[in-house]
Amino acid sequence: MSQSLSNRLSAETSPYLLQHAGNPVHWQPWDEQTLTLARQENRPILLSIGYSACHWCHVMAHESFEDEDVAAVMNRLFVNIKVDREERPDLDQIYQSAHHLLTQRNGGWPLTMFLSPDGTPFFGGTYFPREPRYGLPGFADLCVRVAEAYRDRGEDIAAQAAEIRAALAATVPEPAATTSALDAAPLTAAQALLARAFDPVHGGFGGAPKFPHPTDLAFLLSRNDATARQTALTTLTRMCEGGIYDQIGGGFCRYSVDERWEIPHFEKMLYDNGPLLGLCADAWALSKEAIYARVAEETAAWVMREMQAADGGYYSSLDADSEGEEGKYYVWDRHEVKSLLTPEEWALATRRWGFDGPPNFENHHWHPKLAGELLPDEQDVLESARRKLFAARERRIRPGRDDKVLSSWNGLMIEGMAHAARVFGRTDWLVSAQRAMDCIRKTMWRDGRLLATSRNGRAHLDAYLDDHAFLLAALLELMQAEFRREDLLFAVELADTLLVRFEDQEAGGFFFTAHDHEALIHRPKTGHDNATPAGNGIAAVALQRLGHLLGETSYLGAAERTLRLFWPQIRHSPAGFGGLLRALEEALTPPEIIILRGPAAGMTDWQRALGADPRRLVFALPNGTADLPAILAKPESDHVNAWACRGVTCSAPTADLKELVY
């Protein structure tokens, strides 16, 4: 007889799971207790994966999971498990891949998968409506049919399960039978592929919906090629001008539903805004165009104002919906705008933000974008109008905020904030980034192990490859903005952990989960970027850089083994491998590393002159910096000296800044 269950989500930390704690569905967390029950009773599992800022997750919840009749069917037929994809990206990766294998369609959220008690999927989809529509069956009827298939077609499901497991295993790359020298051919090929996909009118790649692709933009911006850089700059400019960027409050939304970057999917994710903040800083450094400085300023301000906790950690996301409607917080009625502004402000705002054109959002509303030209003497008037609209918007009911702190996404935001702080000389941004890193180190690093997520002082779940790799990259950026010995020590601990707990020392590369992680039906090892960069690519870049900085060959060897494992894939089809391409570029031509020693007061001019070139690393180690590794403990003096190294070759120290500026 089936064991009586109840909804167990009220003890979870995830705001997404807590949103479902009051559902009549007997939701269970993914844990050993739940999985053991399914195996003991031979009950199929209904696995639902989503996240708190997901619009269609909310729709399915309201339609089905809050409905007593639908819940009764689910509770009778399945062990129902709810998962936050942001807390359990390991499960999300596995079952998104399985969904693609089963349906030959791309997945998404909510992800709805039906599993055998051992965790192997046998049917799946994404959103299902309560009643039949959109060519989809009603969810309760679907549940009945799936349960009948599990009961009546056991042999077929078992055979399919074996095929699914084999297909998942085949996605893990194998070492090449023969080794060949790494070369720059994939870099050239990737640039050509991006050039062919580039939209020269609106920027970006492909058509609607259009995503930012920050890893690809970073790759193009780092190329010593005018066309590649212009592709990246055009895309960033169009994004900064469009509605994907919040013209009133700062920050980028997740993607645009159209090819013009005009109307976004309104959720704001931390993982987008960190890399895009860093890219805007680099774009400004290259072009000195004012739009990049403005967007960087406003985005950093938004992050510190709305996304940083009192203890320093960065929150995860803002919802797309408020009051049950997507975008309601962000869009405007033209009469409301006119009533808030002076005639001069209204005339300018109407032209500049597109209020003089037809409504571009539902129900005769407008979402601001940059339209007409702005003259220099109009900037103050527009800023006054923006402040008034911002103040009025602040009085609206705000979208929900997912206030959990994720190690991986904090790594991306810390890196972007610290890099922008270096480029613009902003101490307040640097302090924000340092506070976030200190929070992670204090709350998420315990007894030599990193945890993945924290909320309200409770940190848990073993961290993944991305958590370690993204934080390591962030530490390298922080140390260039201001060297702190504790950051170097943490970087070494993270790098050592990557090698000990994640590296495949036989085949090369890094598994997404640690060697002692919970056993799942598949253990991913991927180099392909998705919404966030691939952990293998970022790990390879960061380990190379730290290896050159410290002269640590074990880090360099692990990075090279990673590149060689993925080399056949990169060489055959480089699209989507932006992180690994960056690692390849620096393997072929290591970045220049400059160590500055001398009085702290004298280093500011050197750091400003050397800039924040992504192809160069600059570490200022003032006199008195204690307990440095021998390779960094250059002699102190009463004036600034610089040591410049590339790979294993270092120049003689110089006290002449002009020798290093190019």
Domain spans, the chain:
9-169, 185-320+402-588, 330-395, 592-659
Give the ranges where 223-267 is alpha helix by DSSP (H): 226-241
Q: Identify any residues that bridge with 451 across adjacent strands, giving them in sequence order.
A: 462
One-letter amino acid for residue 200 of the chain: P
Q: pLDDT tens digit string along 582-604?
A: 999 999 999 999 999 999 999 99
**CA 478 to CA 499: how far, in whole Å?**
22
What mean pLDDT is predicted for residues 250-266? Answer: 97
pLDDT value for 487: 98
For 185-320+402-588, the fitting CATH number among 1.10.390.10, 3.40.250.10, 1.50.10.10, 1.25.40.10 is 1.50.10.10
pLDDT over 90 at 662, yes or no: no
Phi/psi region, residue 457 (left: phi>0; alpha: psi -120 to 50; beta: rest), is left
Q: Which residue from 435, 445, 217, 450 is spatially nearest to 307, judged by alpha carbons?
A: 435
Provide the whole-model pTM.
0.97
Asked whether 636 and 494 are in contact (CB, 8 A), the reply is no
**CA 574 to CA 570: how far, in whole Å?**
4
pLDDT value for 3: 65
Other CB atoms closer than 10 Å to residue 346's CB: what's the count? Answer: 17
Q: Which residue from 275, 281, 321, 240 is spatially nearest to 59, judged by alpha carbons?
A: 321
DSSP 527: -
Distances (CA, A) of 660 to 551, 600, 608, 641, 657: 22, 19, 12, 11, 6
CA dihedral 342, 344, 348, 353 (to 10 degrees): 10
Q: pLDDT tens digit string along 479-511?
A: 999 999 999 999 999 999 999 999 999 999 999
**CA 462 to CA 164: how far, in whole Å?**
26
Q: What is the mean pLDDT of the chain?
A: 96
Q: How many helices and strands in the chain, by DSSP H and E? A: 23, 19
Is residue 465 very low, low, confident or very high in pLDDT (cuts 50, 70, 90)?
A: very high
Asked whether 301 and 250 are in contact (CB, 8 A), the reply is yes
Other CB atoms closer than 10 Å to residue 3's CB: what's the count? Answer: 9
pLDDT value for 1: 37
Other CB atoms closer than 10 Å to residue 652's CB: what's the count? Answer: 7
Of all residues in the chain, what percent carry a pLDDT higher than 70?
Answer: 99
**CA 217 to CA 425: how far, in whole Å?**
23
The architecture (CATH level 2) of 9-169 comes to: 3-Layer(aba) Sandwich (3.40)
Of all residues in the chain, what percent carry a pLDDT higher than 90?
Answer: 93
**CA 389 to CA 391: how far, in whole Å?**
5
pLDDT over 60 at 415, yes or no: yes
Q: pLDDT tens digit string along 548-591?
A: 999 999 999 999 999 999 999 999 999 999 999 999 999 999 99
What mean pLDDT is predicted for residues 316-326? Answer: 94
Asked whether 418 and 433 are in contact (CB, 8 A), the reply is yes
Asked whether 272 and 252 are in contact (CB, 8 A), the reply is yes
Is residue 286 very low, low, confident or very high in pLDDT (cuts 50, 70, 90)?
A: very high
What mean pLDDT is predicted for residues 53-82? Answer: 96
**CA 455 to CA 453: how far, in whole Å?**
7
Is residue 176 very low, low, confident or very high in pLDDT (cuts 50, 70, 90)?
A: confident
